[in-house]
Amino acid sequence: MLILEVVMSTIKIHDREFVKSIPSEEIAVRVKQVADRINRDYAGKRPLLLGVLNGCFMFVSDLMKNLEVECEISFVKFSSYQGAETTGVVKQVIGLSESIEGRDVIIVEDIVDTGLTMHKMLETLKESNPASLEIASLFVKPVRMRVPVSVKYSAFEIPDRFIVGYGLDYDGLGRNLPDVYDVKE
């Protein structure tokens, strides 16, 4: 039985094996905790959630379902990862189409790794004079941070390990997994 469970919690994506590390139930609890904090902090306001595609889609969907404050959503897209290695190059793929001047903006990201993506994003968005600008990220890897980025709302701080699932991919696959998996060393 134990062996069966171990086998069941290991998956293969492309050439790599991954081991289940965070079950969907635990993710749901943490996402709700983040939403509760936002509900408190933004009471009486109407925040604009700015989802960073592609990885944010599951997180932002579950987060928004738990928000009780009036809120809106829009998306931008950056790309800095190819497979399991960062390129160190951050590119904006899809820009923001609406004005964020005077808005309370919450950037919603799947994972902050080196911080380069969020650093660039903050710099860009600040030029449009939002009333406030914060980051909500499902995961943060503090030991990987290369530029100082303040993540006000994070659900999990994780070690330096490549993860997939719950919106995060490995070369395009794995985003559909409800649980999160660590790459097997």
d(CA 32, CA 66) in angstroms, rounded, equals 6
When binding is defined by CB under 6 A, the residue of 116, 133, 135, 136 that contacts ligand 5GP is 116
d(CA 177, CA 166) in angstroms, rounded, equals 5
* CB 38, min distance to ligand 5GP, A: 20
d(CA 92, CA 167) in angstroms, rounded, equals 19
Q: Say what angle helices 24-41 and 57-65 make with each other, to 10 degrees.
A: 60
* CB 90, min distance to ligand 5GP, A: 6
Q: Does 117 bind ligand 5GP (CB under 6 A)?
A: yes
Instruction: Determine how many CB atoms are found less than 10 A away from the CB of residue 62.
Output: 19
d(CA 39, CA 148) in angstroms, rounded, equals 26
When binding is defined by CB under 6 A, the residue of 24, 66, 86, 128 that contacts ligand 5GP is 86
DSSP state of 61: H
Q: Does 168 bind ligand 5GP (CB under 6 A)?
A: yes
Per DSSP, the three-state class of 7 is helix
Residues pairing with 163 in the sheet: 182
Q: Does 115 bind ligand 5GP (CB under 6 A)?
A: yes
| Dihedral angle, C-alpha 121, 125, 131, 137, nearest 10 ° | -20
Closest CB to ligand 5GP among residues 39, 61:
61
Binding mask 61-80 for ligand 5GP (x = CB under 6 A): -------------------x
Express the helix, strand and coil content of the chain in percent, nearest 5 each.
Answer: 25, 40, 35
When binding is defined by CB under 6 A, the residue of 18, 42, 59, 81 that contacts ligand 5GP is 81
* CB 54, min distance to ligand 5GP, A: 8
Stretch that binds ligand 5GP, among 41-49, 57-65, 121-129, 164-172 (CB under 6 A): 164-172
Q: Does 164 bind ligand 5GP (CB under 6 A)?
A: yes
Whether 113 is a known active-site residue: answer yes
Q: Which of 113, 169, 179, 182 is catalytic?
A: 113
AA identity, residue 98: E
Contact residues: ligand 5GP, CB under 6 A: 55, 80-81, 86, 90, 109-117, 162-164, 168-170
| Residues noted as catalytic | 113
